Amino acid sequence: MKDPNQVKDLTSASTADLLAAAPRPASVPITVLCGFLGAGKTTLLNQLLSQQEGQKIAVIVNEFGAVNIDASLVVKTDETITELSNGCICCTLRGDLLQAVDQLLAERDLDAILIESTGIGEPLPIAQSFCLSPAELELDPSLPNLLGRVHVDAMITVVDAAQFFSLWNRPDTIEGDEFGRGFGELLAEQLEFADIVVLNKVDIAAPSDVQQLRELIALTNPRAQIMEAERGQLDARTLLNVQLFDQQVLEELPAWGEELQKEHIPESEEFGLSTFVYRQARPLDVTKLHLLLRGGLPSNIIRSKGWVRFADDDLATLWNHTGKLLALEGTGYWADPQQAVTEVVFIGQHLDDQARQTLTQMLDSAVA
């Protein structure tokens, strides 16, 4: 699948003075973006990168599915974009994360590292990866020890303000969870351990929901800074090199020790989520697809994203779906239209063989 790499610079703010105001620290600052599926993490990441102006910022993009669509949506930088797929960096790919950062430090003189976590990633164990040695994390002791070489600058949680409470209030429980928990628990963890909470999509959110979100964050994490955004547009100077992460404060929380003691179950299992990748080499018919999507996607699909190739059109179309919202947006032209394919990743519950067959047949009906 080709990446059109068409990203507009939507802000004039600069990050050039973020690190120039003070001597470069002995270790490289790491900023971690968390947030549930479809909250807008990649959009915010691109906004930050578009403001870098020559700064050497490396990017690590994590996706728990086998295909890392988010990495193809990231604006190209002068540094390598590292993809960590088919697992989560807060559990199954923790060792891979340490190795990836170690390799970046060995090969490049960096100003900062930006990490985009998967939508079901938990902030606390990700932060602990850079605060403790591999032995303390009960990982392979031969893994690189990053203590003193990097430090967490800020943990940022991005929230879809328009759809947060519909997910928070879902009556169903997490499939296979022995405690009968709901998705609200994951959302709570993503809020409680953030240094900054970005309320994204406020332009399409109900004002009452935004206010309720502010009140919820004030109760559960009063130390967090709250920022509102439309399409992730924020001044990078409010998010990078802010030195908000406080390990000592987090270590005093009961959750810090509990996290180190518990057995790490992959989030895809803990929350009953799985992925399915739809691929189609033949182009789709735009009218057929639009008619098809009027009926909506199956209710067990929480998130889907990818690229669509339409017949008689060299435009690469981004498929972006979260909850009740689905958008098809032309973002640029295929580098090689003859090699272009439709590829969409679906994330949801109960994605068994029958569900996958249903999705495939449904989308195949839109083939030109």
User: Biggest alpha carbon distance in the chain?
Assistant: 60
Q: Return the higher-pLDDT residue of 254 and 9.
A: 254
Q: Return the higher-pLDDT residue of 148 and 180.
A: 148
For residue range 177-206, list pLDDT tens digits in order: 444 556 777 788 889 889 999 999 999 999
Average pLDDT along the chain: 79
Q: What average pLDDT does this structure show over 344-348?
A: 83
Q: How confident is the model at residue 68 (pLDDT cuts 50, 70, 90)?
A: very low
What DSSP string describes 81-126? EEEEESS-TTTTTHHHHHHHHHHHHHH---SEEEEE--TT--HHHH
Domain 16-270 in CATH: superfamily? P-loop containing nucleotide triphosphate hydrolases (3.40.50.300)
Percent of the chain clearing pLDDT 70 (strictly above): 77
* Length of the chain measured in residues: 368
For residue range 243-296, list pLDDT tens digits in order: 999 998 888 877 777 666 666 555 555 556 678 889 999 999 999 999 988 888
DSSP 236: G
For residue range 302-336, list pLDDT tens digits in order: 778 888 899 888 888 888 887 777 888 877 788 78
Number of CB atoms found within 10 A of residue 67's CB: 20
Hey, where are the domains in the chain?
Answer: 16-270, 273-364
Least confident of 81-95, 96-110, 178-192, 202-216: 81-95
Q: How confident is the model at residue 133 (pLDDT cuts 50, 70, 90)?
A: confident
**106's torsion region: left (phi>0), alpha (psi -120 to 50) or beta?**
alpha
Q: Full-prediction pTM beyond 0.85?
A: no
Domain 273-364 in CATH: superfamily? CobW-like, C-terminal domain (3.30.1220.10)
Which pLDDT does position 305 carry in this prediction?
Answer: 82
Which pLDDT does position 250 carry in this prediction?
Answer: 84
Contact residues for 75 (Cβ-Cβ < 8 A; gap 6+): 5, 7, 46, 49, 50
Q: Do domains 16-270 and 273-364 have the same CATH topology?
A: no
Q: What average pLDDT does this structure show over 26-50?
A: 89
User: Cα–Cα distance between 280 and 341 in angstroms, integer?
Assistant: 6
User: Cα–Cα distance between 190 and 11 in angstroms, integer?
Assistant: 27
Q: Is 38:169 a contact under the CB 8 Å cutoff?
A: no
Which pLDDT does position 233 carry in this prediction?
Answer: 93
Nearest CA-CA partner of 49 in 73, 76, 21: 76
